[in-house]
Structure 1
Amino acid sequence: MQGSASSWDNGDRGQDEHPPSDAIATSRDLADALPPPPAAAAPPVVVAHAEATATFAEAEYDGYFLYARNEMVEGYEPEYLRTLLKSLLGIAVMLKRTLVLPEALCRCRDMVNLTDCEGEPAPYFDCPLRVALDGAAWKATKLVPAIKPPRFLAGPPSKLPEVVRCSHLRVLLPDGMDDSEISFALRQYSTVRWLEISSASKAFCGWDTRMPGNAERMRSFTAESNKLVGVAGKGPVSLFECTHYRGGTGEVLQFTNLGCNEKHLVSAAHERLPASIRERPKGTDIMVTFATGSVATMASNWVATVRKAGVAEVLIGALDQSMMDVCEKDGIPCILIEGGEITKQLAQRSAGNVRSDPKLYPKMSVLKVGFYNELLSFGYNVWACDADAVFVNDPRAMMREYPWDQADIAIATDCIDVPSDNRYPLLHCDFNTGLVYMRSRPEVIEFTERWRETIANAKETRIRDQAAFNMMTKLRPLEPLKSKDGKTVPRLFSCSNGGDGKIKIGVLPLSRYLNGHTFFVQHAHTLPKAEPPLSVHMTYQFAEGSSFAHGKRQRLREAGLWLVDDDAYYNGKYLALSDAAATLAVEPMGPNVDSRDAVKKHLAEQRHRINQLRPLLGIAKALGRALILPRMLCYCDFMWKEMQNCRVGGAESMRLPFDCPMDHVLDTPKWFENELGVGVREPSFLKNLAAARPAFAANVTSSIAKVSLRMTPLNDEGVIAALKPHEDARIIELSDARGTFCGFKDAATNGLFERETKVMLHYHRTPFCMMEGSNNAPLFSQCCSPRKPGDKFFPCVNGFDPPDALPACK
Structure 2
Amino acid sequence: MLTFGSKAVTDFILNWVYNVEKIPSLKPYIVAVMDEELLRVCREKGIPAFHAQNSNIIGDKENLGGAVGQEKQVVSADKYYRQDGAAFKKMGAVKARVLQDLLEAGYNVFVSDADTVWFSDPWDIVGKEGVPSRSDSKLLREADILVSTDCIDYSEDLGPGLAAHEHNTGILWLRSTPSTIAFTKEWQVRALATTDGHDQTEFNRILKGWYEPGVEGRLSRDSGLDFPYMPAYVNEQDILVPTDPQRDLTVHGDKRMGMRPQMLEKAWNTFNRHKQQNIRDIYWMWRGRLKAAILPMAEFLNGHMYFTRRVQEYPGAAQPKVVHLTYQFGDTADYVYGKRQRLRELGMWEMEEADYFSKDDYIYITDVGSLCPASMPFLITL
The 5 Å alignment of 1:701-720 reads 706-708=367-369, 710-711=371-372
Q: Report the secondary structure of 2:316's partner residue.
A: coil
Q: Is 1:526 equivalent to 2:313 in the alignment? A: yes
8 Å CA contact 1:407–1:506 kept in 2: the answer is yes
State the SS of the aligned residue for 1:317: strand
The alpha carbon displacement at 1:407 in A equals 1.2
- Determine the structure 1 residue equivalent to 2:52: 337
Residues 662-701 of structure 1, C-alpha deviations (whole Å, 9 max, x = no match):
xxxxxxxxxxxxxxxxxxxxxxxxxxxxxxxxxxxxxxxx
More contact order relative to length (CA 8 Å, sep ≥ 6): 2
- Deviation of 1:383 (Å): 0.8
Whether 1:537 and 2:324 are equivalent positions in the alignment is: yes
Shift of 1:351: 5.5
The answer (yes or no) to whether the contact 2:55–2:94 under 8 Å persists in 1 is: no
User: Hey, what's the Cα distance between the residues in 1 that align with 2:47 and 2:142?
Assistant: 32
> Counterparts in 2 of 1:294-309, with a 5 A limit?
294-309=8-23
Task: Please tell me the residue identity of whatever aligns with 1:405.
Answer: R
Tell me by how many angstroms 1:568 deviates.
4.1
Quote the Cα distance in structure 1 between the aligned partners of 2:183 and 2:369. 65
CA separation of 1:423 and 1:506: change in aligned 2, threshold 3 A: closer
Q: 1:121-149 deviations in whole A, cap 9, x for unaligned?
A: xxxxxxxxxxxxxxxxxxxxxxxxxxxxx
Looking at structure 2, the residues matched to 344 and 523 of structure 1 have their Cα atoms a distance apart, in angstroms, of 38
Against the structure 1 CA distance between its residues 291 and 522, is the aligned structure 2 distance closer, same or farther, given a 3 Å change threshold? same
Report Cα offsets for 1:559-606 as digits up to 9, x if no partner. Answer: 23222224444xx55xxxxxxxxxxxxxxxxxxxxxxxxxxxxxxxxx
Question: In 2, Cα distance between the equivalents of 1:627 and 1:326?
Answer: 33
Distance (whole Å) between structure 2 residues aligned to residue 289 and residue 307 of structure 1: 13
Deviation, 1:625, is 5.5
1:482 aligned onto 2:233: yes
Contact 1:317 1:337 in 2 (8 A): yes
Unaligned segments of structure 1, at least 5 residues: 1-286, 574-620, 631-704, 713-737, 740-802, 805-810
Looking at structure 2, the residues matched to 356 and 291 of structure 1 have their Cα atoms a distance apart, in angstroms, of 14
Residues 278-332 of structure 1: CA distance to partner in whole angstroms, max 9, x if unpaired?
xxxxxxxxx1111110111111111212222332211111011111112112221
Query: 1:340 deviation in Å?
Result: 6.8
Task: Check 1:466–1:356 CA distance in 2 against 1; reply closer, same or farther (3 A cut).
Answer: closer
- 1:389, distance to aligned residue in structure 2 (A): 2.2
Residues 1:405 and 1:293: Cα distance change in structure 2 (over 3 Å):
same
Could you say which residue in structure 2 is the equivalent of 1:313? Answer: 28
Percent identity for Structure 1 against Structure 2: 31
1:564 & 1:528 partners in 2: Cα distance? 31
Q: Which amino acid aligns with 1:431?
A: H
- On the 8 A contact 2:306/2:312 being kept in 1, the answer is yes
Match of 2:102 in 1: 375
- The aligned residue for residue 582 of structure 1 is none
Inter-CA distance 708–422: structure 2 relative to 1 (3 Å threshold): same
* TM-score of the superposed pair, with normalisation by structure 2: 0.71
Q: 1:559 to 1:341 in 2, by over 3 A?
A: closer
Which residue is 1:452 aligned to? 188
> Aligned to 1:360, what secondary structure does the other structure show?
helix
Kindly state the Cα deviation for residue 365 of structure 1 after the two structures are TM-superposed: 0.8
Counterparts of 2:160 and 2:329 in 1: how far apart (Å)?
29
Structure 2 CA distance for aligned equivalents of residues 545 and 463 of structure 1 = 19
Give the Cα separation in 1 of the matches to 2:93 and 2:333. 24
Q: Distance in 1 between matches of 2:59 and 2:371?
A: 62
Q: Which secondary structure does the structure 2 equivalent of 1:427 belong to?
A: helix
Aligned residue runs from structure 1 range 78-227, under 5 A: none
How many Å apart are 1:357 and its aligned residue? 3.5
Deviations along 1:156-195, one digit per CA (max 9) or x if unpaired, are xxxxxxxxxxxxxxxxxxxxxxxxxxxxxxxxxxxxxxxx
Q: Which residue number in structure 2 is paired with residue 510 of structure 1? A: 297
From the superposition, tell whether residues 350 and 552 of structure 1 become closer, same or farther in structure 2 (CA, over 3 Å): closer
**Residues 292 and 320 of structure 1 are in contact (CA less than 8 Å); yes or no, is this contact kept in structure 2?**
yes
By how many angstroms is 1:434 displaced?
A: 1.0
Residues 423 and 457 (structure 1), Cα distance of their counterparts in 2 relative to 1, 3 Å cut: closer
Residue 491 of structure 1 pairs with residue 218 of structure 2? no
Secondary structure, counterpart of 2:340 in structure 1: helix
**CA contact 1:492–1:504 (8 Å) conserved in 2:** no
The answer for the alignment partner of 1:627 in structure 2 is 363
Partner of 1:393: 120
Match of 1:472 in 2: 206
Structure 1 residues 526 and 709, CA gap change in structure 2 (3 angstroms) = closer
Within a 5 Å distance, the mapping from 1:238-637 to structure 2 comes to 287-310=1-24, 311-339=26-54, 342=57, 344-345=59-60, 349=76, 352-400=79-127, 401=133, 402-422=138-158, 426-458=162-194, 460=195, 462-475=196-209, 476-477=225-226, 478-482=229-233, 485-486=240-241, 488=270, 490-497=279-286, 501-569=288-356, 572=357, 626-628=362-364
Secondary structure in 2 aligned to 1:626? coil
Query: Structure 1 length normalisation: TM-score?
Result: 0.35
Instruction: Check the 8 A contact 2:148/2:172 in 1, yes or no.
Output: yes
| Cα offset, 1:343, TM superposition | 5.0
CA contact (8 A) 2:232 2:281 kept: yes
Q: What do you get for the CA RMSD once the two structures are aligned?
A: 2.9
C-alpha contact 1:479 1:495 (8 A) present in aligned 2:
yes
Query: Do the aligned residues in 1 keep the contact of 2:81 with 2:333 (CA within 8 Å)?
Result: no
* Shift in Å, 1:424: 5.5
Code of the residue aligned with 1:523 in structure 2: it is R
* Structure 2 unaligned blocks of 5 or more: 62-74, 128-132, 210-224, 243-269
Residues 193-245 of structure 1, C-alpha deviations (whole Å, 9 max, x = no match)? xxxxxxxxxxxxxxxxxxxxxxxxxxxxxxxxxxxxxxxxxxxxxxxxxxxxx
Q: 2:44 aligns to what SS in structure 1?
A: helix
- Separation (CA, whole Å) in 2 of partners of 1:356 and 1:420: 31
How far 1:451 moved relative to its partner?
1.1
What is the CA distance between 1:501 and its match in structure 2? 4.7
> What's the secondary structure of 2:163's corresponding residue?
coil
Shift of 1:336: 0.4
Q: Distance in 2 between matches of 1:340 and 1:411?
A: 24
Mapped contact 1:410–1:438 kept (Cα < 8 A): yes
Residue 180 of structure 1 corresponds to none
Question: For residue 335 of structure 1, what is the amino acid of its counterpart?
Answer: F
Contact 2:80 / 2:332 at 8 angstroms: preserved in 1? no
The structural deviation recorded for 1:532 is: 0.6
Quote how far apart the aligned CAs of 1:339 are.
Answer: 0.9
Tell me, in whole angstroms, the C-alpha distance in 2 between the residues paired with 1:435 and 1:354. 19
Q: 1:414 to 1:510 in 2, by over 3 A?
A: same
